[in-house]
């Protein structure tokens, strides 16, 4: 009986950690671009505007909160992934906006 309860608690925790890691990678990618654009002497052929990079980092932070809610079990796993995918698609589609 205890193993059944542990498995039921373990599944949302694994998916919550996966969602948190995906969000951290999203933040890290855009923070690296922001740093490269503003604090190095590297010339880029195409540059994403800073406001989009900052907005994507904020969307990644929201993704971390979604992952934490999934980890705690207050948000269902499929809803957590649906929200996370929607946020990542929104953030990625902002990049193609004209500056």
Average pLDDT, 10 consecutive residues per value, the chain (99 residues): 70 94 97 96 91 96 97 94 95 80
The number of helix segments (H) and strand segments (E) in the chain equals 3, 0
Distances from the Cα of 16 to the Cα of 31, 53, 65, 74, 77, angstroms: 22, 24, 10, 11, 8
Number of domains making up the chain: 1
Residue 76: per-residue pLDDT: 94
State how far the Cα of 70 lies from the Cα of 74, in Å rounded to an integer: 6
Residue 99: per-residue pLDDT: 55
Residue 27: per-residue pLDDT: 97
In which domain, by residue range, is 36 found?
Answer: 17-94
Position 61 in a domain: yes
Residue 14: per-residue pLDDT: 94
Distances from the Cα of 8 to the Cα of 77, 81, 91, 95, angstroms: 12, 18, 32, 39
Residue 84: per-residue pLDDT: 96
Residue 74: per-residue pLDDT: 94
Position 8 in a domain: no
Token readout for 69 is 């809610």
State how far the Cα of 12 lies from the Cα of 69, in Å rounded to an integer: 9
First to last CA, the chain: 58
Position 38 in a domain: yes
């Amino acid at each position: 009986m205890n193993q059944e309860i542990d498995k039921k608690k373990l599944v949302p925790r694994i998916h919550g950690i996966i969602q948190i890691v995906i969000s951290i990678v999203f933040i890290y990618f855009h923070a690296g671009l922001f740093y490269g654009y503003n604090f190095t002497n590297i010339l880029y052929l195409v540059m994403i505007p800073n406001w989009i990079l900052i907005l994507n980092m904020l969307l990644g932070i929201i993704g971390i909160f979604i992952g934490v809610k999934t980890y705690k079990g207050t948000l269902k796993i499929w809803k957590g992934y649906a929200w996370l995918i929607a946020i990542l698609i929104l953030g990625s589609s902002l990049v193609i906006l004209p500056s």
